[in-house]
Amino acid sequence: MLHAVPVEDNPQTRLEEGVVAATVYAGGKRLTDIGVDEAGAWAKRAGHVVWIGLLEPSQELLARVQTQFGLHDLAIEDAAQPHQRPKLEQYGDGVFIVARTAHMLDGRISFGETHIFVGRGYIVSVRHGTSTSYAQVRQRAESCPAVLAHGEDYILYALLDFIVDNYLPVLEMVNTEVEAIEDRVFAGELNQAEVQRLYMIRRDLLRLRNAASALVDVCSRIQRVEVRPIEPSMQPLFRDVTDHIHRVQDEIDALREVLAFAFEASMMAGQVQQTHISRRLAAWAAILAVPTAVAGIYGMNFEFMPELKWQYGYLVVVSAVATICVTLYVRLRRSGWL
């Protein structure tokens, strides 16, 4: 019978740089923490599953993991290089999955990557970039031995479900900010920086939607026998992840529509304001055109002009100009031009 060996009592299992966790389970129960170089032997034991978590590992560490589980060279090459598109590739009896992670960082949606190797008796997750730790996933799984007994199939589901569920807090924070900006749009207080913010959020949401959409295909292919047989009892769980992804897609589409409307509303508000200013300038130009025209006429150097020598000519002309200007002002004010 195998017994759990505490990490502090076994110097060979001390975590090295790049290794977040390396544990072996049997029957849904944690047996012991192990070193990378002994993972392959544990994975070959019937009823055992090795779960290794790596964080931005070195090429040398990935090569050691490859040796333990017989991973394909192309999969290792992809895992060593971030900025991969979300996908699922099958290499022999093993599967290589790339998923995009997301969380808010300094007001922007920050994207990371998780590369997952899955095979009989093992699962290896490789995190790149800004990403939430999967310690919560491991703790929840270990607290439910009945479901963890399904081995690597359940662990894979738990990781993908955690990645998708972390999209929702991001969308909630974006939604809160969008609502605040939308209120400012209708209040007519939106400035240029906030308009640029609308565009940046909409672009980030598009990237998030692309990442989520790719996981729909990943979950669909996992359920097919052609990729890798999974237990029938696990298939509803992967369908549940797919449903969560569809929910994320719907919320992203709704947010993008609101952002598009807010952007258009801000542009329309700017155009309305410009139109209002143009109308006021035109109204004042019309009023000022009256004295300008009269002054221009009487400023011509002709010797014989009507009322030029009349005693009350100046008073009459000024009074007429003032009357016309006041009349224009009142009518333009009533019409909303002033």
* Domain encompassing residue 102: 1-145
157 assigned to some structural domain? no
| Same domain? 1 vs 141 | yes
Decide which of 145, 161, 190 is a domain's last residue. Answer: 145
CATH number at residue 318: 1.20.58
| Same domain? 279 vs 140 | no
Q: In the chain, which ranges are E strands?
A: 19-26, 29-33, 48-55, 87-91, 94-105, 108-119, 122-128
Q: Are 283 and 338 in contact (CB under 8 A)?
A: yes
Cα dist. 83→72, 115, 117, 156, 224 in Å?
A: 19, 11, 17, 21, 27
Residue 63 zone, left/alpha/beta (φ > 0; ψ -120 to 50; rest): alpha
Q: Are 149 and 142 in contact (CB under 8 A)?
A: no
Q: How many CB atoms lie within 10 A of CB 1?
A: 2
Give, for all 338 residues of the chain, the pLDDT tens digit. 333 333 333 434 456 888 999 999 998 899 999 999 999 999 999 989 999 999 999 999 999 999 999 999 999 998 888 877 888 888 888 889 999 998 888 878 888 999 999 998 999 999 998 778 898 999 999 998 888 988 898 999 999 999 999 999 899 888 888 888 777 776 666 677 777 787 888 888 888 888 888 888 888 888 775 666 677 778 888 888 889 898 998 988 888 888 877 777 666 666 666 777 888 888 888 888 888 888 887 777 766 676 667 777 778 888 888 898 888 888 888 887 77
Decide which of 117, 145, 173 is a domain's last residue. Answer: 145
109 assigned to some structural domain? yes
Q: Are 267 and 192 in contact (CB under 8 A)?
A: no
| Same domain? 140 vs 279 | no
Decide which of 114, 145, 176 is a domain's last residue. Answer: 145
Q: How many domains does the chain have?
A: 2
| pLDDT tens-digit series, residues 98-142 | 999 988 888 788 889 999 999 989 999 999 987 788 989 999 999
40 assigned to some structural domain? yes
| pLDDT tens-digit series, residues 295-330 | 887 777 766 676 667 777 778 888 888 898 888 888
1 assigned to some structural domain? yes
Q: pTM of the full predicted structure?
A: 0.74
Locate tokens 């047989």: which residue? 229
